[in-house]
A and B are shown apart, each in its own frame.
Chain A
Amino acid sequence: MIVLGCNDVRVDFGTTVALDGVSLSWEEAGAIHAVAGQNGAGKTTLCRVLAGLIRAERGEVIIEGTAYPATAQGRRREGVELVHQTFALPPQFTVAEALQLFRPGTARGGLFQRGRMERRWADQLEELGFTVSPKVLIRDLAPEQQQAVEITRALSSGSRVIVLDEPTAVLPPEAIAGLFDRLRALAAQGITFLVVMHKLRQVRELAGTVAVLAGGKVVLPPTAMGTIDDDEIARLIMGASSEQVVTGASAVAMGLADAPEGLTGATASGNATSVESGGLPGRDQRDTSEAAVLRVQDVSVSSVEGRRGLRSFSVEVFPGEIVGIAGVEGNGQQALVDVVVGLLAPREGRVVLGGADASGLRIAARRRLGLRYIPADRQSRAVSLSSSLWVNAMAAPVSSGYGVSGVVRRGFLSERRLRKRGEERLQRWQVRYAASDQAMRELSGGNLQRVVLAREVDDDARVIVAEQPTQGLDLGGTELVWEALRRARRQGVGVLLVSSDLDELFALSDRIVVILDGERVEELRPPYDRTMLGHAMVVGAAS
């Protein structure tokens, strides 16, 4: 009997296809099954379809032998429960109240007795082996305890099949073993788990079978872990994905065609990189790397919900060099970018910009030192949608005070001249617009990113932090961004490129630093090896 499965499921989000004819089935009940895949592979969408939270364009879902149409309006499906990546528990509720919210039970007239309700949930929690008091507030719980409450919530529906979306992503490393033990114990009682994870080591440790999704397609049907090795899985996760996701096959062709330039770039800056003599930079060598335009030194940042921290992370960027940061999303990239840009004060360590310690500097001061930032979250961080184009193009120069001499004097500005200055920037980057005072929201994605480039890639730039700079862009847009970063490199700018698009990293980076769990685990140099990188991203440093 198929305990959980789906048949030919297709889900579209607008023009993007999240799941494309996915058919999967798991037959062994009381076992732990894994689905692996890169970010954007469709894992979370699959979870939601299985739990009936979203509607598919076509296909069906199979639960304990019964097939249901997956196209039914998003009503929660009985029999399968999903534990979300972000917990859906009200922070100021007690554990018992939160559980009661989800499972009102048969309270007469909706009325309950607190003591009885707490006992009911205390019993449930205990039965499942969780040591969480029902009287504690959700917000006072550790992540693993919140997860325990979520799992209790899911199981209390009587479901025998539980889908967990990235259950380890929010947990501190020391809590992961506990979760695994608990899941195994519950599986032994006949509960079937489908676990979505991207860390191969954890998949291997926990799951009996693994399936791999890439680009919304199944590239590996559920396969017993014993019959497949890590390299093969890593190759499937990494390899297939980059051909279909994000930039499309032709971008890859372009990326490959451009690869030699990446190599020559590396050679050109060889004098600088040779200082490190390969591998991780040693502590004693730091003083010799005076020329670096950006140095992140032993930076530590605490993890918070929704953002992985950093552990003694170091990276240097030299003039005329593009350093790629590779890693599965959510491994500390966000914290790294925020620390460099100045949005987040690190707990330990420092950030040096062009020789000056920038750790205590505000964003404006860092920008005056030549720091530029192309954010991944364009609509919130990069642009103001309701402001005009020229305001967007000139926002940072005016606010931080650079590149506006003759236009802003002692805080006074000439709107006309400022607008003209903005238009010059827009025109240099060939932004297509009717009038420069039209609202930003009227621009298309690629055009919008041009405005960001017009602001961030200017003559005064010394370091550019580019975060997923081509995400969601078409071929032309991608090419433009790549060319912009390459040109910046030729002019001696250092670029820190954070990307989950491996081809982008390969095409642009002189070096690639791999980040995993907030730690620097590997540094790779051309010629890049996809398997090696994939292995480092999901498993860690090569032994």
Chain B
Amino acid sequence: MNWRNGLGSVGRSGVALLVGLALAAITFQAGGFSAGGTASGVVTGAITGPGSLALTLRYALPLAFIAIGVVVSFRGGFFNAGAQGQFYAGGIVSLYVGLTLPTSLGGPIVAMLAILAGAVAGMVWSILPGLLRVYFNVNEVIGTLMFSFIAEYLVTYVAVGPLKSSAGAGQVAVTTSVPNAVRVTPASGIGIGVVLGVLLVGAAVWWLLRRTRFGFEIALIGRNPVMAEVQGVEIRQIGLATFAITGFTAGLGGAIEILGPLGSISSGYDPNIGLTAILVALVGVLAVGGVLVAALVFGGLTAASLYLPIATGLPSTSLVFLTGLVSFVVTAKVGWGRWSQGLAQRVRGGPRPGHRGDEVPVPSGAPPDADERQRGTPAASPGSVGTPV
């Protein structure tokens, strides 16, 4: 690892976080809430208060699952922005499996099967836009977002439709809860299995990125897809695989959330977790270790957002505001010279399908020709991030 680049990336994401916090503090102060009071509220809500740390961990776990997978796509230069939909897909399918399989099979076995089914569902939900991306050059941001919207309606559908709980008399439709035997954690959302699961998935992804040819090739594509292709990397296969992995872990996150703390899905369920997970991946400089830390930070902020209304009267949605501010600036390329060319260079691409990082020149477009096809570098690729592998 190149320490200068590494430091640059970490410094940059830290700065984005600080800028976001500072802007939020200024806004809160201007709105009549003391910034100091808010800050101490955050500390209490996330760390020092009774049960705060547990709550922080509870919200950090699903974030970590998703963000670890997002790292894989982003490292390969594929901007998979549909983690929320993949999370939903995982949740829905695991719920369905958890409810359908007889508990006589044994709770843990049903749970395992349900989790696996959820992960595969997330994978499918990610591979579909991935196929559109690598074979039809459909911008993956749009594709994954569309699939997220579709999944959102599926959530409502299952909540009010086939899996609706007959017991619920409240305003919001809720599905039947999975039997306790199948639940992977108590309502607190913390179970040793889940924590181990995060560590296991983190270790697996770390190992995949650092110890396999596949990881080596992902890094090559993410940094310079043209060069990667010339070296013999099969860009389409690797690209699809990154979509699959991201979807798999997001589906895993959804499954564990539903089979864990929630137990059921309510209509209009929106944990706003997709964007936060992308943010966790970016703030964690697309490194597994960094993501785990960033997940704890954002898990802590989520926990604090539940405490702040009680402590200071600040609405819990202030957290959404804060994450919004951080996202707004986290990829900005502030002119610090060449000292840190990490994060901003990464996903700065943007508007049109077909943006690349700065080191990648764009081959001139060939018109469609039935006989003679330009073998494919997928057009869009964000540049590269962080440190050389």
Contacts and interface: CB of A to CB of B under 8 A. Distances in A.
B372 A302 contact: yes
Chain A: interface secondary structure? mixed
Interface in B356-378: 357, 359-361, 364-367, 369, 371-375
Given A302-B369, A302-B372, A387-B223, A412 B2 contact: no
Interface in A186-228: none
Contacts, number: 140
A363 B341 contact: no
A282 to B, nearest CB: 27
A388 B388 contact: yes
Contact of A385 (B224, B373, B375): B224
B352 interface: no
A437 B213 contact: no
B181 to A, nearest CB: 38
Contacts of A413: 211-213, 216
B116 interface: no
Nearest to A139: B367
A344 B227 contact: no
Contact of A412 (B212, B234, B345, B367): B212
A254 B227 CA distance: 32
Residue with the highest number of chain B CB atoms closer than 10 Å, among A301, A387, A388: A387
A400 B231 contact: yes
Contacts of B234: 362, 364
Contacts of A385: 223-224, 359
B276 interface: no
Contacts of B231: 363, 367, 395-396, 399-400
Interface residues of B, number: 43
A307 interface: yes
Contacts of B212: 411-413
Contacts of B217: 398-399
B384 A386 contact: yes
A387 B129 CA distance: 28
Q: How large is the interface on A (under 10, 10 to 19, 20 to 34, 35 or more residues)?
A: 35 or more
Given A302-B369, A302-B372, A386-B384, A414 B213 contact: no
Interface string A357-394: 00000111001000001010101111111111001000
Given A388-B389, A396-B231, A380 B374 contact: no
A347 interface: yes
A220 B366 CA distance: 38
A387 B388 contact: yes
Contact of B220 (A306, A384, A408): A384
B388 A379 contact: no
Contacts of B1: 437
Interface in B311-364: 341, 345, 357, 359-361, 364
A304 B227 contact: no
13 contacts: A305-B365, A347-B371, A347-B372, A375-B230, A380-B227, A384-B223, A386-B357, A386-B359, A387-B389, A400-B232, A401-B213, A413-B211, A439-B5
Interface of B: 1-2, 5, 210-214, 216-217, 219-220, 223-224, 226-234, 341, 345, 357, 359-361, 364-367, 369, 371-375, 383-384, 388-389
Given A347-B372, A384-B227, A415-B211, 10 more contacts: A304-B364, A346-B372, A363-B230, A380-B359, A381-B230, A391-B388, A398-B213, A400-B231, A411-B214, A413-B216
Interface of A: 301-302, 304-307, 341-347, 362-364, 367, 373, 375, 377, 379-388, 391, 395-396, 398-401, 408, 411-415, 437-441
